[in-house]
Chain A
């Protein structure tokens, strides 16, 4: 096969809320040949299985369902001369931005001027959190359950327990109740819920589904199909407390225990990844350590609101178009790191002299009455400050620095 035959200016990998927006962004910034590659048969990514309401408030100024949000974004893309391919999976990405793509139409190599990664995320599995016990049918990650229920129209069980209180788990608790499944409880190992407050309220409390914080599933029982789970309280070290075990009969266990940016292609390209986000280390243009490769959406870091993944996509697409047109940033790199009570901050690198950079950050635990400050590490200078009565790990926050940045920074919570 030798040399790649096909070229494009900007290749966007993934057609979900971030990727669709990235294709739009690339076009708005003047990219000529934009190629959008989506591995599923339809555009929209995970939005298609999110039949609940609550999308679009920021992008479209009204709340719509996931599929409606996907449809609108896809219509916007369809108005542009973007080449959209569905059922096309990128199997490999090289440092030189050569993509290996497989689809029913053929297997081929594509040379891209710039690449936007928008592959989304995957779910943490039972094996990764090492839930002991048997391995029967009836254990599903929440997103898989969402797909089977909402897209395949299948009844996955009759009595369910949910481990973990991530947003998808909360939403699935309500969804299962709608379908006549008895949801016996949601168990969260942390002392606070993983998902958004509004989801705890609207999906659990309003339906009388118990949420038990500081507890976990310590054993799965049942040979062929789940027959019961054993739950127990955990101590501060998250170890189960002996004597607190309780057997809950059920035939289904849903896991909503975390999302992981899906960076398999990024790894193949030899990209630097952050252990804090699970995504790429990026600069203010969302460019990764591989020149010309940009990252956005859940493959970069986990978002709680799809709209923000789309905004990130728009920005990444624009910057990718500029790169493809030959624009290069000049200047030394300024490093930005998380300070007290901050789990991560993004971008991690800023070109020295840049002004007006906005950071995304997430707190590591719930905090009250804090000042979030962007501080110069050497000078101690406060570049930006925000006051918050309460910050939750489930909510992604933004903070903007108007001044030009010339030194390494830290974003942290202070009393």
Chain B
């Protein structure tokens, strides 16, 4: 197969999750030809969408581990980066609560680990302080981490990619790398969207980073998928939660324990569970785990066990820990292959990968800099064009928008107050992501309490106006088609 357009890329990034997109943006500061290849129909379709969206402070991981170092370094970067990119986020602080006096020692261990890693501001607080901070939460003692925060993980991922695209990086969706050939010191990456040749490759393929590495003849890794199920409340549940509340990490839980996390919009996330599964894409939810989540909610925040949930979902963690083995901790792997110089793999990037992503990106750039001349571009734009949501505007600004463009006056989503202008803008994203889920993640259409019941026909109509025929409309690409053609007129 011939190389697409005869072009040779300086760096190809495989995988459009938060890490791949952070790497792409960091590289887009330099005078390089860049491409990111994502196998799904949109960015953030894998590990990066199904998590709690917590900006971690860094006390949950062993000091001196790569997880701890990139987490603490990432924490120093991530808030400013999110502000620069216009990604909604909030420094909320966090509580890790101990229900019994004997668990206080565990909190002290966490604090000591955090202190050693350089996590700022950690302190142990008593029940009265918990009550002041989170009146609905339960606990005898808590570790309070003031610098923990929340962010929308998929908005962050998309924003990183949009910024990179604005600075000249290319992104190909629905382009899974199916084969890798090395010829003339170039990596030739075969995808259904054509073949791409690159001098260097960054493998940030998340759950599939082991398989992608194997395509290049690097048989060093094995990813074990661990599923985590979540439940999410209605914004109108009447329950207020200011900050994430975690239990003392249970000894038998491969994750951080089932916790509660506020979203920026006012929902509460409950989860995740942690089950080793066989299938990397098995994001089914189960009755058993839903019951377990509720039971845990009853412990952390009794009122939460009594309110209705509007949605459940599951995400998969890419762990390096064999569920049948003795090891409990697997560190991030970020390394250049000795066998395939120029090929850098990021493997096992689970929590706290979202927070660590900006630091991991800097690390990857430094590794690439050893082998290539990196020249800063004079015209790098660190931000991206961003419109504040209609729902977040005051009356005057709303009136101004509608007066200028009537599309701001046409409400598409009644639950989240999203306008046609915002849906059209989302569909005209620079990557060509044109699925219902792509619209949902960019606009919140379908995330409200009707869960798409009312806005779906409207979005289907707008998609057709934008040139997507009805039978090509999908939920999230691939075989997730919505329709089987038209009915007889």
Contacts and interface: CB of A to CB of B under 8 A. Distances in A.
A224 B481 CA distance: 8
Interface in A110-147: 122-123, 125-128, 130, 132-138, 141, 143-144, 147
B395 A100 contact: yes
A179 interface: yes
A125 B395 contact: no
A197 B445 CA distance: 36
A246 interface: no
B461 interface: yes
B380 interface: no
A228 to B, nearest CB: 13
A123 B310 CA distance: 12
A103 interface: yes
- What range describes how many residues of A lie at the interface? 35 or more
Interface residues of B, number: 59
A104 B482 contact: no
Nearest to B285: A132
A50 interface: no
Contacts of B231: 130
A224 B477 CA distance: 8
Contact of A137 (B414, B453, B475, B486): B475
Contacts of A357: none
B309 to A, nearest CB: 6
Given A158-B484, A223-B281, A126 B406 contact: no
Contacts of B410: 87, 103-104
A240 B290 CA distance: 15
B311 interface: yes
B411 A102 contact: yes
A256 B370 CA distance: 61
Contacts of B286: 132
B313 interface: yes
A122 B484 contact: no
A127 B230 CA distance: 11
A104 B478 CA distance: 35
Contacts of B285: 132-133, 135
A149 B457 CA distance: 10
A136 B478 CA distance: 11
Interface in A191-226: 218-219, 221, 223-225
A39 interface: yes
Contact of B486 (A138, A141, A153): A153
A323 to B, nearest CB: 26
A91 interface: yes
A362 B403 CA distance: 47
Given A125-B310, A128-B308, A134-B283, A148 B478 contact: no
Nearest to A89: B411
B452 interface: yes
B399 A1 contact: yes
A155 B313 contact: no
Contacts of A105: 406, 409
User: Which of A39, A102, A126, A138 has the most chain B CB atoms closer than 10 A to its own CB?
Assistant: A102
A95 B169 CA distance: 51
Interface string A220-242: 01011100000000000000100
Given A89-B414, A109-B395, A144 B452 contact: yes
Contacts of B290: 130, 132
Interface string A253-292: 0000000000010010000000000000000000000000
Given A1-B396, A128-B310, A102 B402 contact: yes
A59 interface: no
A289 to B, nearest CB: 17
User: Which of A128, A135, A219 has the most chain B CB atoms closer than 10 A to its own CB?
Assistant: A135
B449 A122 contact: yes
Contacts of B475: 136-137, 224
Interface secondary structure of A, over-half rule = mixed
Nearest to B419: A102
A243 interface: no
B24 to A, nearest CB: 27
Interface string A73-111: 000000000000001010100000000101111111100
Contact of B287 (A91, A109, A218): A218
B236 A267 contact: yes
A149 B396 CA distance: 39
Contacts of B478: 224
User: Which of A107, A179, A221, A223 has the most chain B CB atoms closer than 10 A to its own CB?
Assistant: A107
Contacts of A382: none
Contact of B457 (A39, A128, A148, A219): A148
A179 B399 CA distance: 44
Contact of A155 (B281, B402, B411, B484): B484
Interface string B394-419: 01101101110011111100110101
B402 A106 contact: yes
A157 interface: yes
Contacts of A330: none
B451 interface: yes
A133 to B, nearest CB: 5
B487 interface: yes
Contact of B453 (A1, A108, A143, A158): A143
Nearest to B484: A155
B136 interface: no
A388 to B, nearest CB: 33
A126 B232 CA distance: 13
A39 B308 contact: no
B406 A224 contact: no
A147 B452 CA distance: 12
A295 B374 CA distance: 67
A173 to B, nearest CB: 16
28 contacts: A87-B410, A91-B411, A102-B402, A102-B419, A106-B403, A107-B409, A108-B399, A123-B450, A125-B450, A127-B232, A127-B309, A127-B312, A130-B231, A130-B290, A132-B290, A135-B283, A135-B285, A136-B475, A137-B481, A144-B457, A148-B457, A152-B470, A154-B460, A154-B483, A223-B281, A223-B479, A264-B415, A267-B236
Interface of A: 1, 39, 87, 89, 91, 100, 102-109, 122-123, 125-128, 130, 132-138, 141, 143-144, 147-149, 151-158, 179, 218-219, 221, 223-225, 240, 264, 267
Given A39-B411, A144-B456, 6 more contacts: A102-B398, A133-B285, A134-B282, A141-B453, A144-B457, A224-B475
User: Top 4 nearest A-B pairs by Cβ distance?
Assistant: A224-B479, A127-B311, A137-B475, A104-B406
